[in-house]
Amino acid sequence: MQRNGFRLLVLAALILSVCVIGLGAYTRLTEAGLGCPDWPGCYGFAGVPKTDVHQELAAARYPHAPLEVHKAWNEMLHRYVAGTLGIMILAINVLAWRRPERPRGLPACLLVTVVFQAMLGMWTVTLSLMPVVVMGHLLGGFTTASLLLVLWLRLRPLPMPRSPSRSQLRPSSPFASSTASAGALSLFALLGLAVVIGQIALGGWTAANYAAVVCTQLPLCEVDWQQSFDSSAFSLIQPVHDSYQYGVLDYQQRVTIHVTHRIGAAVTTLVLLLLAWQLWRHPALRQLALLMLGVLCGQVALGITNVVASLPLGVAVAHNLTGMALLLVLVAVNVQVFWMRRPTRHWQGSAARLH
């Protein structure tokens, strides 16, 4: 497979990873996370039991988990697509090792991530939607998509930078100030990425603990959340329960999670606005700045709609996908800033040799 074909395979895997994340959100929001009480099959079958005989066997095997066909199909469709993605990532690794010029580290990281992601998918079922596992499964999906994007960008052809003249390499030239500017921009970009990851984790924790609709007013909550703030709401290891479906935390704890997620959204918005201003100062990055602002505005609007409309299914799924899009934009920003700085370091080395 030629370079362009390999890159197309990575792009196809990236698109499929987006579908997996969307299907995962839909499965969770339709309460189908336990649509099949076993893993990787469904009630002991490779697929959803269809015939009356198979459904009777399913009821006998799992009397505590009555079969709901539509939920079982939601769960199994998610598993089928996720399994296809895993096969594609395995193929990417095989093809990467067939040619020495292809990157191998990123495909290997992807393979490790997707294997661990499969284990998280199993634990999500066997541990009955334990919140820390559900949140980890969400973050694993986002990590897979991010690594695929980095690999796809890594495979793009990069133009060779023009060699700078001696006047441009003087320490007093504007090049030196642009180096400092690029360094500051890289710090802003990393900060923006870290804040978005933290906010996504908060969103995952909110969803896993069924805290998305405990507050119905804006901008914060209709109850005195400051007086009832309970830091134990963020304990990753919760007491053992037979099932965590529909949540096991009390109302005050869920309010604490919900309000923290909203405060995190405000902090994320502020940080990304500052990052957009920094990006706008570099003409080559203005398109990314506009894209980031557009996705950010969409995400804020979807978050507000989730509150005022009590979590409509379509809006909630879109909120998950837009959060993923925001993360991918931040990943692309950091990759672009990194590649901007690479020729800078090369030219600095040339300057040292010339002087």
Q: Which residues contact 140 (CB under 8 A, 6 or more apart)?
A: 113, 116, 117, 120
As a whole-number percent, the residues of the chain with pLDDT over 70 amount to 88
**DSSP SS3 for 45:** strand
| The two three-digit tokens of residue 22, written as one number | 């969307």
User: What positions carry a catalytic annotation?
Assistant: 75
Question: What average pLDDT does range 172-192 have in this prediction?
Answer: 68
Q: What values do phi and psi take at 45, rounded to 5?
A: -115, 160
What are the distances in angstroms from CA 20 to CA 85, 131, 312?
8, 19, 20
At CA 298, angle to CA 292 and CA 300, rounded to 5? Answer: 100
Question: What average pLDDT does range 252-265 have in this prediction?
Answer: 96
Position 115: which residue type?
V
Sign of CA dihedral 221, 227, 231, 232: negative
Question: What average pLDDT does range 219-236 have in this prediction?
Answer: 90
Lowest mean per-residue pLDDT among 121-125, 146-150, 206-210, 343-347: 343-347
* pLDDT given for residue 343 in this prediction: 54
Question: What average pLDDT does range 230-254 have in this prediction?
Answer: 93
- pLDDT 10s digits, 52-72: 999 999 999 999 999 999 999
Other C-beta atoms within 10 Å of 136: how many? 22
pTM of the entire structure? 0.89
Using 50, 70 and 90 to split pLDDT, how confident is the model at 1? low
- pLDDT 10s digits, 67-85: 999 999 999 999 999 999 9
Question: What average pLDDT does range 190-197 have in this prediction?
Answer: 97
CA 347/CA 165 separation, integer angstroms: 10
What are the distances in angstroms from CA 237 to CA 138, 158, 241, 291?
17, 46, 11, 38
Report CA dihedral (101, 102, 105, 111) to the nearest 10 degrees.
-150
Sign of CA dihedral 48, 16, 195, 152: positive
200, 139 contact by CB (below 8 A): yes
* pLDDT given for residue 160 in this prediction: 44
CA 95/CA 48 separation, integer angstroms: 34
| The two three-digit tokens of residue 114, written as one number | 């997707």
